């Protein structure tokens, strides 16, 4: 091949074309890698900024409550605190340490907003993350004595010793500790234990109760109440309403695969497939609670008697199918719904007297409202991250198949984020919209 020959020009042309093709390709690859790395860094910075923004939002909301006092009534303050994601122990901490407001100052703010003394104690001691003992210690360290605490609950709000006893007992405090506060901390005064007055009766747990007009109904339907309630931060509780269904065994397979326990609040029947499914749930170590028998809101909430009748039927079927006695329940529609307004308080009082505890939720999957796979995959983990102890509402029903489709994907994502999982037990501190543990 000589310079200027045809072969020379052919090689020259091929070389030039190769350079024109490969050089841009190499540059594109190099810039593509640099651009991808930049996008990853930008994404990391955006996530960090999101976390900072969430913390700023929480502090901003709390400033509304503790500094500017924008909430004009008790309901508004509760709403602001709940929306902020700040627990009640953090409210106390912010008030006493960050805002130069002592416990008495916080008490005055809440009291002036219309929250009763009993509610103030209930909010901090039982409704979120502060146990009765912790609340007592916090308030004591901030200058409020045990005597003043007792006065707040017993005298200022017009409650009796029995009411104060019931309040702290429902917060998980033992009888000995309650009596130590009421008796010893008030200067060594002595009194009989609340409940040792004439006319009181006891349920099977030994808790003091008052005479009930429903005591003769279903005398077998009582369960024991734990001495103390557990509160496991970083633990997620998956709960399924309305089952069993055709999807139950699929949920069970996913849970078994990942060694996770969950809770079913069921609508049982005596059909054989239903009884078999209930037994399968129990045999795998999951918790079963009562949701209802008919799921007919108008019927079951018509009266306390109607609710007890419906509950007893569902309760009996579960016992027959599993050999276990269910101790938990979830109101059909949640504890606070449009159908139980007139009977809610009486039902809660009677079921509490019998030892049963109901569980609402603080994470709603939205499956019954038509949430898509993408909706739930995004919302469930996001909502869990804002809580110390998520109780997730999902449904095991024919109309909520998207819940099944997304379940394992959400579960794997949460496992990857380091959460623990457990089934609700009768000593798990409840989350309740209203009632003894309401918030």
The pLDDT tens digits of the residues spanning 268-282 come to 999 999 999 999 999
**Residue 429 domain-assigned (yes or no):** no
Task: Answer whether 353's CB lies under 8 Å from 212's CB.
Answer: yes
**263-to-240, 255, 284, 350, 378 alpha-carbon distances in Å:** 6, 11, 11, 23, 22
* 225 found inside a domain: no
- In terms of Cα–Cα distance, which of 113, 107, 187 is closest to 146? 187
- Give Cβ neighbours of residue 9 (< 8 Å, ≥ 6 apart): none
* Residues 132 and 18 occupy one common structural domain: no
Domain limit, last residue, from 197, 220, 245: 197
Which pLDDT score is estimated for 190?
Answer: 35
As a whole-number percent, the residues of the chain with pLDDT over 70 amount to: 53
Which residue, among 333, 339, 382, 378, has the nearest Cα to 358 in the 3D structure? 333
| In-domain check, residue 42 | no
- 171, 197, 223 - which closes a domain: 197
Domain co-membership, 149 together with 253:
no
Report, as an integer, the average pLDDT of 77-94.
61
- Are 384 and 288 found together in one domain? yes
Q: Which residue in this structure is represented by tokens 């028998």?
A: 293
Same domain, 260 and 325: yes
What confidence score (pLDDT) does residue 436 get? 86
Residues 141 and 288 in one domain: no
d(CA 161, CA 178): 11
- Total-model pTM: 0.56
d(CA 325, CA 385): 33
Residue 193 lies in a domain: yes
3-state secondary structure of 173: coil
> d(Cα 180, Cα 115) in Å, to the nearest integer?
26
pLDDT interval class at 311 (50, 70, 90): very high
Q: Is residue 328 part of a domain?
A: yes
Same domain, 92 and 168: yes
The verdict on 241 and 337 lying in the same domain is yes
First to last CA, the chain: 91
Residue 435 banded pLDDT, cuts 50, 70, 90: confident
The band of 193, judged by pLDDT with boundaries at 50, 70 and 90, is very low
Helix, strand or coil, per DSSP, at residue 283: helix
Most confident of 12-16, 38-42, 335-339: 335-339
Return mean pLDDT, the chain: 77
Asked if residue 22 belongs to a domain, the reply is yes
pLDDT for 103 beyond 80: no
- Is 282 in the same domain as 135? no
Tell me which H or E stretch contains 363.
strand 363-364
Higher pLDDT, 54 or 184: 54
Closest to 233 measured CA to CA, from 335, 87, 379, 357: 87
Q: What is the span of the domain harbouring residue 281?
A: 235-421
Q: What six digits make up the tokens of 25?
A: 């390709």
Give mean pLDDT, residues 323-348: 96
* Residue-wise pLDDT tens digits, 360-390: 999 999 999 999 999 999 999 999 999 999 9
Q: Judge whether 278 lies within some domain.
A: yes
Query: Which residues on neighbouring strands pair with residue 357, listed in sequence order?
Result: 328
Answer whether 359's CB lies under 8 Å from 270's CB: no
Highest mean pLDDT among 73-77, 127-131, 149-153, 417-421: 417-421
Both 253 and 373 in one domain: the answer is yes
> How far is the C-alpha of 122 from the C-alpha of 134, rounded, in Å?
13
User: Can you give the CATH number for the domain in which 351 is found?
Assistant: 3.20.20.370
Domain identity same for 28 and 163: no
Average of pLDDT values for 318-338? 96
Q: Are residues 183 and 321 in the same domain?
A: no
The total domain count for the chain is 3
Do residues 163 and 247 share a domain?
A: no
SS3 235: strand
Q: How far is CA 81 from CA 56, 57, 92, 150, 422, in A?
A: 14, 12, 12, 25, 27
Please indicate, yes or no, if residue 62 is contained in any of the structural domains: no
């Amino acid at each position: 091949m000589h310079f200027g020959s045809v072969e020379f020009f052919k090689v020259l042309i091929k070389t030039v074309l190769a350079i024109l093709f490969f050089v841009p390709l190499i540059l594109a690859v190099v810039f593509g890698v640099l651009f991808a790395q930049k996008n990853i860094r930008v994404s990391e910075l955006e996530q960090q900024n999101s976390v900072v923004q969430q913390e700023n939002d929480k502090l901003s909301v709390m400033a509304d409550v503790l500094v500017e006092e924008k909430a004009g009534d008790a309901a508004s303050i509760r709403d602001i605190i709940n929306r902020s994601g700040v627990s009640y122990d953090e409210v106390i901490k912010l008030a006493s340490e960050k805002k130069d407001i002592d416990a008495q100052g916080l008490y005055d703010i809440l009291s002036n907003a219309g929250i009763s003394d009993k509610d103030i104690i209930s909010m901090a001691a039982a409704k979120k993350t502060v146990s009765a003992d912790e609340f007592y210690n916090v308030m004591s360290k901030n200058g409020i004595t045990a005597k003043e605490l007792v006065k707040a609950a017993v005298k200022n709000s017009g409650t009796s010793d029995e009411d104060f006893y019931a309040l702290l007992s429902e917060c998980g405090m033992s009888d000995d500790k309650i009596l130590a506060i009421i008796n010893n901390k008030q200067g060594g005064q002595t009194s009989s234990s609340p409940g040792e007055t004439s006319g009181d009766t006891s349920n099977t747990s030994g808790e003091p109760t008052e005479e009930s007009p429903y005591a003769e109904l279903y005398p077998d339907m009582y369960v024991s109440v734990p001495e103390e309630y557990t509160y496991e931060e970083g633990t997620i509780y998956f709960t399924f309403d309305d089952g069993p269904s055709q999807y139950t065994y699929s949920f069970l397979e996913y849970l078994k695969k990942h060694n996770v326990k969950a809770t079913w609040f069921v609508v049982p029947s005596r059909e054989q497939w239903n009884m078999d499914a209930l037994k399968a749930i129990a045999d795998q170590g999951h918790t079963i609670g009562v949701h209802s028998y008919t799921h007919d809101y108008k019927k079951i909430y018509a009266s306390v008697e109607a609710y007890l009748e419906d509950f007893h039927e569902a309760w009996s079927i579960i016992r027959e199918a599993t050999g276990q006695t269910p101790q938990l329940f979830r109101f059909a529609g949640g504890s606070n719904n449009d159908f139980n307004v007139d009977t809610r308080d009486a039902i809660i009082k009677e079921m509490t007297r019998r030892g049963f505890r109901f569980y609402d939720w603080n994470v709603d999957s939205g499956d019954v409202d038509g949430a898509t796979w993408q909706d739930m995959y995004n919302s469930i983990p996001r909502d869990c991250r804002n809580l110390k102890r998520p109780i997730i509402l999902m449904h095991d029903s024919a109309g909520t198949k998207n819940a099944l489709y997304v379940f394992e994907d959400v579960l794997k994502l949460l496992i990857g984020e380091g959460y623990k999982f457990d089934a609700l037990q009768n000593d798990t501190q409840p989350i309740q919209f209203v009632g003894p543990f309401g918030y």
